[in-house]
Amino acid sequence: MTIRAIGIIGGGQLGRMLAMAAARLGFRTVILEPEADCPAAQVANLQIPAAYDDPAALAELARLCDVVTYEFENVPVAAAETLAREVPVYPPPKALAVSQDRLVEKRFINDCGIATAKFHAVDGQADLEAALADFSGQGVLKTRRLGYDGKGQKVYRSTADGIEGGYAALGGVPLILESFVAFEREVSIIAARSADGDIVCYDPAENVHRDGILHTSTVPARILPETAAVARDAAARILSALGYVGVIGIEFFVLADGSLIANEMAPRVHNSGHWTEAACVVSQFEQHIRAVAGLPLGKADRHSDCIMQNLIGNDIVSLPEWLRRDDTLVHLYGKAEARPGRKMGHVTTLTSTRAEPDVPGKKARDR
Ligand code: AMP
């Protein structure tokens, strides 16, 4: 089938960048998003201003589009399944179901043969106490659903860390306690799979968070080639197991010996892949559009080293300085008001190739 129009559920900056990539490949885009004048609708052909699970809006989206995708992982699974009966939905709704629940996600990742932190389901205070005892008092307590940017979490560093009332403090909802991972650094990998089963992976990025929000992504990450290969292999396993079509982002912790622990996956383009628009011929956004539209994937090769930095809230005041630099690509999201913690845009600075850095596991390899 010839694809002419692509539906995108969600109207944020990721939808905006997907719509821009789609336009460059000659596609029309329709955004389903309740918020008026959202970042994605500013650059798309049409917005359906309705809730993500509004039956009439979903029917309209299916009528107007040849394929539907999404830009955030909390799209209601039932809405995606309803749509999928009318029009192809990529990535498959199963990817939403898996990534919306940290417990289901960890079990799925383990079933793919990939290591995660150890974990226990926590459905009450007694569960929390038993789980913390199993992890010698250390762990990260998280809501199973709807957590993002470090929200809905509590870190336990020792048994002195106020266990009492810990379950209720996160809202009395289903939780998961993860063992505390003493990682050296955090990396993520952006990968894509086509409907034909072709897979491409971008080079892993090294990520630094501030106040739970991604601050910078640096490429190349300071990891061994062997570590990068493990990340690529993990991505391929996850994509194949889901019969996935589109781009996925997977976050990992890197341990001192160079081994990897998967943290979470996002069935969408990912903030830690924004650098690809400046340092690769085919960005993660174009790659996703190619995949969902049934076009061949592009190469994921990188022509430059780079560092991407998010412009969050008041960071936007530094815009004139960024614009004066001739090594930096500036990308703003069209948001009128710079509220604290709000992602306003990002900048990617191309950097020169560096000497081989000190990476986890290097000493063991060189011995
Ligand atoms: P998440 O919402 O799962 O991405 O977690 C937010 C941040 O908390 C991560 O980027 C890590 O820096 C930290 N974190 C999450 N889980 C763990 C863990 N099990 N052990 C240590 N740090 C963690």
Best probe residue, ligand 1, of 263, 265, 271, 272 (max atoms within 8 Å of C-beta) = 263
What's residue 354's pLDDT?
45
Nearest Cα residue to atom 1 of ligand 1: 150
List phi, psi (to 5°) of 294. Answer: 80, 20
Ligand 1 centroid to Cα of residue 68, in Å, is: 31
Ligand 1 centroid to Cα of residue 220, in Å, is: 21
Cβ contact 114:234 at 8 Å: yes
Is the per-residue pLDDT at 357 higher than 70? no
Mean pLDDT, range 328-335, rounded to an integer: 97
Mean pLDDT, range 120-147, rounded to an integer: 93
- pTM here is 0.94
Q: Which atom of ligand 1 is nearest to the CA of 181?
A: 20
Is the per-residue pLDDT at 355 higher than 60? no
Nearest Cα residue to atom 7 of ligand 1: 150
Express each pLDDT in 43-92 by its tens digit. Answer: 999 999 999 999 999 999 999 999 999 999 999 999 999 999 999 999 99
Ligand 1 centroid to Cα of residue 212, in Å, is: 9
Q: Between 367 and 72, name the one with better pLDDT.
A: 72
What's residue 367's pLDDT?
59
Mean pLDDT, range 91-105, rounded to an integer: 98
**Euclidean distance between the first and final Cα of the chain, in Å?**
56
Which homologous superfamily does the CATH classification assign to the domain defined by 185-366? ATP-grasp fold, B domain (3.30.470.20)
Nearest Cα residue to atom 14 of ligand 1: 140
Q: Between 366 and 203, name the one with better pLDDT.
A: 203
What's residue 363's pLDDT?
67
Average pLDDT, the chain: 94
Mean pLDDT, range 164-193, rounded to an integer: 94
What's residue 149's pLDDT?
57
Q: In whole angstroms, what is the distance from residue 195 CA to residue 166 CA? A: 44
**Domain 118-178 CATH (choose: 2.70.98.70, 3.30.1490.20, 3.40.50.150, 2.60.120.260):** 3.30.1490.20
Nearest Cα residue to atom 6 of ligand 1: 150
* DSSP letter, residue 157: -
What's residue 27's pLDDT?
98
Ligand 1 centroid to Cα of residue 334, in Å, is: 30
Q: In whole angstroms, what is the distance from residue 299 CA to residue 199 CA? A: 10
Express each pLDDT in 151-163 by its tens digit. Answer: 678 999 986 667 8
**CA of 331: how far to CAs of 17, 149, 285, 315, in Å?**
10, 21, 13, 13
Express each pLDDT in 190-219 by its tens digit. Answer: 999 999 999 999 999 999 999 889 999 999
Which residues in the chain are classed under CATH 3.40.50.20? Answer: 5-89
User: Ligand 1: residues whose CB is within 6 Å?
Assistant: 117, 140, 147, 150, 178, 180-181, 186, 209, 212, 263-264
What's residue 164's pLDDT?
82
Q: Which atom of ligand 1 is nearest to the CA of 263?
A: 3
State which amino acid sits at residue 175.
L
Q: Which atom of ligand 1 is nearest to the CA of 148?
A: 2
Tokens 């008092």 appear where? Answer: 137
Which residues in the chain are classed under CATH 3.30.1490.20? Answer: 118-178
Task: Tell me which H or E stretch contains 102.
Answer: helix 102-111
Q: Which residues pair with 309 in a beta bridge?
A: 216, 347
Nearest Cα residue to atom 13 of ligand 1: 150
Express each pLDDT in 275-286 by its tens digit. Answer: 999 999 999 999
CATH class of 5-89: alpha beta
Mean pLDDT, range 316-338, rounded to an integer: 96
Ligand 1 centroid to Cα of residue 252, in Å, is: 9
Strand spans (E) along the chain: 5-9, 28-32, 46-48, 67-70, 119-122, 139-143, 153-156, 175-178, 185-193, 199-201, 205-210, 213-219, 246-254, 260-266, 305-312, 328-332, 343-351
Q: Which atom of ligand 1 is nearest to the CA of 261?
A: 19
Ligand 1 centroid to Cα of residue 73, in Å, is: 18
Ligand 1 centroid to Cα of residue 163, in Å, is: 19
| pLDDT band (50, 70, 90) for residue 137 | very high
Which residues in the chain are classed under CATH 3.30.470.20? Answer: 185-366
Ligand 1 centroid to Cα of residue 41, in Å, is: 32
Residue of 207, 192, 289 whose CA lies nearest to 252 = 207
Mean pLDDT, range 2-31, rounded to an integer: 97
Nearest Cα residue to atom 8 of ligand 1: 150
Ligand 1 centroid to Cα of residue 5, in Å, is: 38
What's residue 38's pLDDT?
97
Mean pLDDT, range 226-236, rounded to an integer: 98
Cβ contact 40:15 at 8 Å: yes
What's residue 163's pLDDT?
82
Q: In whole angstroms, what is the distance from residue 81 CA to residue 314 CA? A: 39
